[in-house]
Structure 1
Amino acid sequence: MKVVVIGIDGATWDPIVPYIKEGELPGYAKFWNEGLHGPLLSTIPYITQPGWKAYSTGLNPGKMGVYFWSKIDWKDFRIRNINSLGFHGRDYWDILSDSGRKVAIIDMPSTFPPKKVNGVMISGFPHGEGPWVYPPEFEKRIPDSYPKEQIHLFTKNEDPETTMNGIERDIESRFSMAEMLWDHDLVHVSIVMNDHVSHFMWNNENIMLRNFKANDRGISRLLSRNRDGYTILMSDHGNGPIEDEFYANEYLSSEGLLVKRERRDPIISREKVVKIGQKTGLYSLARRLPDGLQQRIVKRVKNIESSMETGIENLLDWQQSRVIALDEGLFYVNPLYQEEKEEIIKELVSKLDAVRSRTGKKLYNRILRGKEIYWGPYVDEAPDVVAITNEIYHQRFQLSGYLWASEIPEEKMAYRTRQVAHHRIRGIFGMVGPGIEGKEITASIYDLAPTILKLFGVDIPEGLDGKPLI
């Protein structure tokens, strides 16, 4: 028996269903019309990491020990990125490997560095130094058409139709790899660029439809190959339109809860680097270079972006800052102020509850303690406060110099366009196969690991946070 899992990063049914009804997306339609289907509720926060690992482990962040892409290291005053080694808990394919099943995991975020499995793991972003494929020798079999990094990004000076051409090729490469590894009992493939398209092109109907069709072509191919097995369609979270983005650490600074150090601009700013690249045509040229050279350029550019855009740690006065925010409504009280923690939290909650957007709308729908949301042995590492935003807003943690993204002049937006959509808690779920009844349900992302283990007839470990859907 074969189980195929197709993970479409950031997918949601809302914009897809109208095209299903028009007959444009036969692959998606198979799940919607004939399978078990409906919304898939994500983690809080509803973001790529920890969302994907919640799917593969069946555990909430309090049991995995990961709540976001990064973790605050209070000892060394750093904000450190987290890779696959930072998660606790076993992925369901580890259990399948132990039972003798062959597994193929393709491009799932949060899987670098790759772990040993009974089969093949091609790790997904973010990558770092070292092997990105298990077994390492399999890398030689990966065709040039499968790029390690997917570099086709929507920028201010690039025709979106041209960018979409590259994204379509990247999507095709992932589905082709799934077919290449078809002899495995489990085949999981992630399509991560759907999320990027949604963030920046949500209002561009033609680009969105091209994206849906590119995914649908691959979905249809895998469905036709797996007529006698089970195929699951899922996403780590959904997406939807937003009005603005809120820079939480700038707000904390304005309220005296965070203290910034004197900012020293680099001799060559990020904006200058970007403008040089755009004016000289270097960005367009880079996309025509050999794949290996492209990957090295991407790595260098990402290092520059990290230090110039997201590296706030050198801009903070760690001793004087009482609260620090990460993205997605996560707030942490500085342990140096442990004795005052409860008073600080009360002050923080009161201030956050009063925040209004530039158009007068309430920013946060709910403000909770981390321990009200998460449970498990690593709940002490949870954020002290989790503020769940009104879904038409997104919280960012960068120190941009502005409270709201809509205040930032266009010329200071560097090379990217503004985000017009961001994550929602309701992702996408569908399942077809022998004996699966076509009906609509609401599922949890924690339900998928136990469901897949049950399909294979493998014992489900105790302590998972989901239940089988069949």
Structure 2
Amino acid sequence: MTETIVLGLDGANWALLEPWLDEGRLPNIEALRDRGVWTDMHSCFPPVTCPNWRCYSTGKNPGKLGVFWWETIDTDRQTLTTPDSRSFKSANYWDYLNREGLSAGIMNLPMTYPPFEVEEFMIAGGPGSEQENYTHPAELGERLDADGYSLHPETPVTAKDDRTAADGLVDLIEQRLVTFRERLDETDVDVAHCTVFYVNVLQHFFWRGEPTRRAWEVIDEQIGAIRDAHPDASLVLMSDHGCKDVDTVFYANSWLEEQGYLVTKGETKDLLTEYGINKKRLSKLAHKLGIHSLVTKLAPDRITEQLPDDEEGFKREQKLEKVDWDRSKAIASGQGLVYVIDDDPDTVEQLVDDLSELTDEDGEPIARNVMRREEAYDGPYTEDAPEIVFDQRPGVHTSGAIGSNPVFSDVGRWEAENVRTGLFLADGPGVEATDLDGPISITDIAPTVLQSVGCAVPTDMDGRPLPLFGDVEHETCEPIPFEAATDAAREEVQDRLEDLGYLE
């Protein structure tokens, strides 16, 4: 019998769901709230899928994992890399389950590609996964492929008018949860986990619009079916972060350049971008005029390679080439991360002050909190983190694009952005009603899952088991050593992250 089932709902928070709960559209989630224990949950900084799903599975903050966002900028080597599953320097909770003879089934957890060897199974997921060699054991993938299982939609949602693609995402979410239920029927595991990732993509592009609402109605229906099929299991709903509608886009690198912290090289691309010329717009115009093939044939590569891909900025492989490293002091990634070149303490100090005082065109602060990396993280890999981490104000989307963008703009490609406050809910015969006394941490969930099946909690986890199962004292154990493997994600993965708007 499966003792504990964890459903990961990417980007979910109670504030997002409350209107639909009030309208009676999510009756199964409402019933779980009536019976179970629920509260807010805080993610680690920044509140993003990567690294927070692995903060969940390890019970640790990014300073103990060595991964801080979708991309890592090495200002010494002037390189940019994208992490994969082996980049996180820690064992996961399923390793402790397996060591004590307990089994796990992990499905669609972001940042698990290539998959780990898990007793009983792992099906990799999230935007970093590929539709090949994505399961352990390997033959499980062959079975899933034969059944038509898809990790990703045929047509991705890349804009707010992609309604047909949005319908495909709703279908994909339903398929994901139906497959998870089938796995639970076929295989007894002590702990099972499934993440619904693509619902947050819908939230980014449509916020509370009709496609997002339909997706949540599908999720609610599937939650009810899981609860009915496994009435004796502890059922946990949790998220990696929350979501809120956007009112301001902050182009961090444009601001750094305006303030003299970042210097970029002037090229043909600057003039083209200044006048709004990019590949997408030229392609649309050429098609409209019926001369696309002629333009493609006559335009030299040296010209087309200079064209910006779209209005957000330069291609990622061109991003660092654009920087004048000898004259620059800092460069930003997205969603609140700033790297200081040469780790200059005076620059760090000045940037913390400037970002703390920065307001948008309406006088609203851009950041709720501006931290040095030592304030945001704790652990042996803190020195690998960006020197500055700021918690962007809810309603702000921080872009890391480099190009001729304004410092501030209204709602852009996304309708909603991540926020740190997510959700947590636990229900089941073994779950006792308790006051959790405010928001929990995402790092508390892994030790709680371990305690739910009587497994010892490693001493290096940041989180602690939540008081859900009576006055049972949790046992502790020595950590499992991390076995390093550092393959970087492939170009296809980076392209998918760009399409979704995570990398700019």
The interval holding the TM-score normalised by the smaller chain is 0.7 to 0.9
Equivalent residue in structure 2 for 1:350, among 349, 353, 359: 353
Partner of 1:411: none
- Tell me the alpha carbon deviations over residues 360-384 of structure 1, each in whole angstroms, 9 at most, x when there is no partner: 2221222221101211111111221
Matches within 5 A, 1:364-383: 364-383=367-386
Q: Distance in 1 between matches of 2:335 and 2:63?
A: 17
Matches within 5 A, 1:302-317: 308-311=314-317, 312-317=319-324
Partner of 1:414: none
Is residue 245 of structure 1 aligned with residue 249 of structure 2? yes
Partner of 1:8: 9
Q: Cα 1:422–1:100, aligned 2, differ >3 Å: closer, same or farther?
A: same
2:422 partner amino acid: G
Equivalent residue in structure 1 for 2:149, among 146, 149, 162: 146
2:190 partner amino acid: D
Q: Distance in 1 between matches of 2:32 and 2:435?
A: 10
Is residue 257 of structure 1 aligned with residue 261 of structure 2? yes
Is residue 199 of structure 1 aligned with residue 204 of structure 2? yes
> 3-state SS of the aligned residue for 1:169?
helix
Equivalent residue in structure 2 for 1:178, among 166, 177, 180: 180
Equivalent residue in structure 1 for 2:194, among 179, 189, 208: 189
Partner of 1:394: 397
Partner of 1:111: 112
Q: Distance in 1 between matches of 2:283 and 2:131?
A: 25
- Tell me the alpha carbon deviations over residues 395-426 of structure 1, each in whole angstroms, 9 at most, x when there is no partner: 11111311346269xxxxxxxx7212111111
Partner of 1:300: none
**What is the deviation of 1:468?**
0.7
> 3-state SS of the aligned residue for 1:422?
strand
> 3-state SS of the aligned residue for 2:448?
helix
Is residue 460 of structure 1 aligned with residue 472 of structure 2? no
Q: Cα 1:323–1:177, aligned 2, differ >3 Å: closer, same or farther?
A: same
Partner of 2:306: none
Partner of 1:429: 424
Partner of 1:234: 238
- Tell me the alpha carbon deviations over residues 323-376 of structure 1, each in whole angstroms, 9 at most, x when there is no partner: 1111121111112xx5xx121112212322332212222212222211012111
Alpha carbons 1:157, 1:278 under 8 Å: kept: no
Q: Distance in 2 between matches of 1:129 and 1:145?
A: 11
Q: Distance in 2 between matches of 1:346 and 1:145?
A: 54
> 3-state SS of the aligned residue for 2:15?
coil
**What is the deviation of 1:90?**
0.9
Q: Cα 1:407–1:454, aligned 2, differ >3 Å: closer, same or farther?
A: closer
Alpha carbons 2:367, 2:393 under 8 Å: kept: yes
TM-score computed with the length of structure 1 as normaliser: 0.85
Matches within 5 A, 1:147-162: 147-155=150-158, 158=161, 160=163, 162=164
Q: Distance in 2 between matches of 1:130 and 1:169?
A: 21
Aligned residues: 433
- Tell me the alpha carbon deviations over residues 28-48 of structure 1, each in whole angstroms, 9 at most, x when there is no partner: 113211111111111111111
Alpha carbons 2:49, 2:110 under 8 Å: kept: yes
Q: Distance in 2 between matches of 1:277 and 1:112?
A: 39
Partner of 2:88: 87
Q: Cα 1:375–1:156, aligned 2, differ >3 Å: closer, same or farther?
A: closer
**What is the deviation of 1:131?**
2.1
Q: Cα 1:96–1:179, aligned 2, differ >3 Å: closer, same or farther?
A: same
Range that drifts further, 354-363 or 453-462: 354-363
Range that drifts further, 92-101 or 78-87: 92-101
> 3-state SS of the aligned residue for 1:398?
coil
Q: Cα 1:278–1:140, aligned 2, differ >3 Å: closer, same or farther?
A: farther
Q: Distance in 1 between matches of 2:211 and 2:19?
A: 16
Partner of 2:129: 127
Q: Distance in 2 between matches of 1:25 and 1:278?
A: 45
Q: Distance in 2 between matches of 1:366 and 1:342?
A: 19
- Tell me the alpha carbon deviations over residues 251-290 of structure 1, each in whole angstroms, 9 at most, x when there is no partner: 111111111123454999542587489979xxxxxxxxxx
Structure 1 runs (4+) greater than 6 angstroms displaced = 276-280, 304-307
Q: Distance in 2 between matches of 1:462 and 1:316?
A: 43
Q: Cα 1:127–1:156, aligned 2, differ >3 Å: closer, same or farther?
A: closer
Q: Percent of aligned positions with the same letter in both sequences? A: 30
Q: Distance in 2 between matches of 1:24 and 1:407?
A: 31
Partner of 2:228: 224
Q: Distance in 1 between matches of 2:33 and 2:208?
A: 24
- Tell me the alpha carbon deviations over residues 94-139 of structure 1, each in whole angstroms, 9 at most, x when there is no partner: 1112222222211111111111111221111213696222222221
Partner of 1:284: none
Partner of 1:449: 446
Range that drifts further, 8-17 or 95-104: 95-104
**What is the deviation of 1:58?**
0.2
Equivalent residue in structure 2 for 1:137, among 139, 142, 159: 139
Name stretches of at least 5 consecutive residues in structure 2 with no aligned partner: 290-308, 469-504
Is residue 323 of structure 1 aligned with residue 330 of structure 2? yes
Alpha carbons 1:247, 1:400 under 8 Å: kept: no
**What is the deviation of 1:74?**
3.2
Q: Distance in 2 between matches of 1:246 and 1:352?
A: 12
Alpha carbons 1:58, 1:464 under 8 Å: kept: yes
2:365 partner amino acid: K
Q: Cα 1:114–1:405, aligned 2, differ >3 Å: closer, same or farther?
A: farther
TM-score computed with the length of structure 2 as normaliser: 0.80
Range that drifts further, 56-65 or 219-228: 219-228
Q: Cα 1:170–1:46, aligned 2, differ >3 Å: closer, same or farther?
A: same
Range that drifts further, 93-102 or 438-447: 438-447
Equivalent residue in structure 1 for 2:388, among 381, 385, 390: 385
Range that drifts further, 28-37 or 453-462: 28-37
1:202 partner amino acid: W
Alpha carbons 2:159, 2:413 under 8 Å: kept: no
Q: Distance in 1 between matches of 2:143 and 2:283?
A: 35
Equivalent residue in structure 2 for 1:406, among 393, 400, 409: 409
**What is the deviation of 1:245?**
1.2
RMSD over aligned Cα atoms = 2.7
Partner of 1:294: none
Q: Cα 1:421–1:54, aligned 2, differ >3 Å: closer, same or farther?
A: same
